[in-house]
Structure 1
Amino acid sequence: MSRSADQLRADAEVAAGGLPALLLAAERLSAALVSGSHGMRRAGIGEEFWQYRPAMAGDDARSIDWRRSARSDGQFIRDREAQIAQSAALWVARGQGMDFTGGPDRPTKRHRAEILALALTMALLRGGERVALLGEVPRPGRLQAERIAQSLLEPTPAAIGDDEDPPAALIRPGQQIVLISDFLGDPEPVIGFLTRAAAMGVKGALLQVLDPDEESFPFEGAVLFRSAAGGASHDTRDAKGLRAAYLDRLAERKSLLTRAATEAGWHFSSHDTLSPPSAALLWLSAVLEG
């Protein structure tokens, strides 16, 4: 069902109201990164010195630094950092399940995911990379961070239920991709995404964001479990009796995603919303740097 102009305007006002707070929180988080930790540096044809490395078969003799080589028994190449901007694509799941929080003292999974995605965006942009949400055109500059923040704050389309699958059709060569979700839905679309990415030589990271209640399953007694979209429910009088089976299935899911990511040349990690977001951000920046 289409939304009226008044509804669209109201949604836009809500998004605009949250934009400064989201940008500020992300700016503070990205500033906490150690300078240079997000650089995604690699050897190339630029002018800026990066490192010396031992010469290998196939290296052009003209690239040998004879002054450095004279100080040792071997020959050394003077690598320069590539000045071609890197491209990163970010995707944050918008499924209604991402709006879950187990208590007023913690953020929703979606809010934490948005903060991490935007903080990573700012760190990458400061390093000279081009960034975009998956499927959009990567661009450099501060204005791009504001565009991404605005997109992240757009209301979830009504057609999206509890879970949203990453769109494999939007994968493009030459990008690094970060997927942020709770990954509690059907894992097959995620595995399919990784398979397609690997076939295209695209690398990246999966970050699973969970609420502590989803990690520990602290429920006891009579509990009605119901999905955010209302499509599934389970009524039990002994929630504690379900704990072991639930934790086993969660461990299996994490193991499955870890294996699938590793086989695709990707990285997988899990983060809960009571943990410092800086830890997850440092992990993301490190795996993108390679």
Structure 2
Amino acid sequence: MSLEISRRTLIRSAGLVAVTAPLVACGDSKDPARGGGGGATAGEDLLAKGKRQGYLRVAIANEPPYTKIEPDGTVTGAEPDIFRAVCKLLGIKDIQGTVAGYDAMIPGLNANRWDAVTAGLFMKQSRCAQIDYSEPTVVSTESFGVKKGNPKKILTAADVVKNKDLKIAVIGGGFEEGILKGKKVPGGQLLPAKDGRTGIEMVKSGRADAFFLPTLSLNDLAKTDKDFEVTAPVTDVPNTGAGSGFRKGDAKFVEAYNVQLKKYKATPEFDALMKKWGFDAEASRKATKAELCKAEG
């Protein structure tokens, strides 16, 4: 079948070429369960498939520092870089990335449009019930992007709950939207933003009073835009964290992946990668999937 990829571009890492035509995703006649694009043979698991074809397909966002697409099309950012490094330890040479909305990542994974999600898709109860995460790769906090001086004094989720007049921009299907909905913030107070830049422009133009996003993502946006400010990490929401996401049926691969991930997290290379993207390597080593999957939403 044909997959329409509006707002999604197939990017192949390490200088791979962007494809603007629709991605064709057809089930392999020998093994329909493995889905399209991978050419899996009957009975072939994900590890064998990746080794044979030399890559795995991943869903990414374009939200630095979690994921980033370089001008030459290279897929990078903390999550894809970690995934690529661990895949190499497993004997898989590279990755191919497809940009997708957060709300489309799990449905696309379970429809076999990609083999994994490496996008900073934060763990929470509903997601952990649908897919199998690796152990954590990144751990983060949440903040609000607000106008200079924070005129509405928005510092916590409780502030949003108390003031029904506030309008908060959130990325549709994102973890932050789920946090606020879980705190019973009415849907009419939440305004969908398609990406980080859009959310900030909504605040600057007055359409939204704040933009709720991971602290590191807002700090990255603030590097090139000084017309808004980032609040201190919000104290009444849980710390967030992500790992790579896989289909429930790929448990064997996840087990092998976690073995190599643990080894990689003990290396100086991991510490350097985390420092490059602004994450705390030790926080990643201490966090567990079981802990992060308890997050409501």
Query: Given the two structures, how large is their TM-score scaled by the length of structure 1?
Result: 0.30
Larger Cα-atom Rg: 1
TM-score, scaled relative to structure 2: 0.29
Structure number having the greater helix percentage: 1
